[in-house]
Structure 1
Amino acid sequence: MKKTTNRTGLAIWGWPMILGVLTSVGLVAGLFSDGGAGDVAAGICLALPVVVGIWFGWCRPGPKSSR
């Protein structure tokens, strides 16, 4: 029998909300900055969700079998 766990909404949606906020900050910083630290902040904020997507989409090892 499979054990079910009760997870709160924050446990499920916490990281997607953080990535959404980072993306929004990156887009706003890229829109309003004119060189310097604003462009660096925009690049970092927009690169982090891409890196997380690549990690969980392609690079992360699959689940181990329980045999």
Structure 2
Amino acid sequence: MLGRQGRLVIPAEVRAALGLSPGDQLHLRLVGHSLVLERQQDAAAELRGLASEVPRNRSLVDELLAERRLAAAAGE
């Protein structure tokens, strides 16, 4: 239920099933027209899973910096 001040109430049985406790950090994201609310550690694990596909010898930071330098040199 969404309260008057925009607060979302998560039913007790859902909190128990997810192992949520008062003060837990949650991550909220929009997927299409749906809200996804997940535990912070689950969101972090998902991101780590995405990064696991990147070879260890590849530096995404170096690639980004190289792209930015090229754009700056081109006057963008």
TM-score (norm 1): 0.28
Higher RCO (CA < 8 A, seq sep 6+): 1
Q: Answer 1 or 2: which has greater helix percent.
A: 1
Decide which structure has the larger Cα Rg and report it: 2
TM-score (norm 2): 0.25
Q: Answer 1 or 2: which has greater strand percent.
A: 2
